[in-house]
Amino acid sequence: MNRRGQFYLITAMIIVTLIASFVTITNYSKKTPDARIENIGSELKYEAGKVIDFAIANPSEGSIDEKLLDFTKQYSESSEADNFYFIFGDSSSIRVAGLQKRDGILSIQGVTDANPELTLTAGSYNSNLFSPNGNSVNLTISIFDNLKYEFKLTSGQGFYYIVSKEIEEENHVATNSRQ
């Protein structure tokens, strides 16, 4: 009789273990970055490099600033991401541009301009030139709870971006800034 009780006890433990493992597997979730946003960031970096190369090789076609302005406007208007912020230029002059889903203000620190802000109207691409006051520019985005992004400027042409998309009530961000 003793062995029969042990058999039922072991069988019950196996059944409980199986049920617990099924519950654990069905309740497990893993937060992963959205691959689409990461791909947009990689694509932006690659394509902007090609635009800069083209503008350097063909100066009669327009300046680097004009080419990057046209590229970033077209790209942000045709992409599936929600918000785009760009800084391009060098340590003598930078352009801050953006397109976002909601109205907001970009505050720029590290520039000598009297009004270091760029007002963005929902769905409209806006840009402005600024004069840096050193080798570092900070961009504060009002719709991201005033998150700050730092960009290190170089003597050569630089291209920096912040791209975001809201997915299931979470903001997924791709950037090449230092945060």
Would you state the pLDDT for residue 136?
84
Tens-digit pLDDT profile for residues 91-108: 888 999 999 888 888 889
Give mean pLDDT, residues 136-164: 82
Is the separation of the CB atoms in 95 and 127 below 8 Å? yes
3-state SS, 37-77, equals: HHHHHHHHHHHHHHHHHHHHHCHHHCCHHHHHHHHHHHHHH
User: What are the start-end ranges of the E strands in the chain?
Assistant: 83-89, 94-99, 104-109, 117-120, 126-130, 136-141, 147-152, 158-167, 170-175
pLDDT at 20: 78
| Per-residue model confidence (pLDDT) at position 16 | 86
The larger pLDDT score, comparing residue 167 to residue 76, is at 76
pLDDT at position 47, please? 92
- The backbone torsions φ and ψ at residue 112, rounded to the nearest 5 degrees and listed phi first, read -90, -5
Q: Domain spans of the chain?
A: 1-30, 35-175
Identify the residue with better confidence: 21 or 179. 21
pLDDT higher than 90, residue 73: yes
Residue 104: count other Cβ atoms within 10 Å of its Cβ: 17
Q: What 3-state DSSP class applies to 169?
A: coil
**pTM score:** 0.75
Q: What is the pLDDT of residue 66?
A: 93
The 10 Å Cβ neighbour count of residue 158 is 19
Please give the average per-residue pLDDT across 125-151, as a whole number. 84
Residue 5 has pLDDT above 90, yes or no: no
Q: Taking Cα atoms as reference points, which of 138, 176, 173 lies closest to residue 158?
A: 176
**What's the mean pLDDT in 145-153?**
81
d(CA 155, CA 55): 17
Confidence band for 24, pLDDT divided at 50, 70 and 90: low
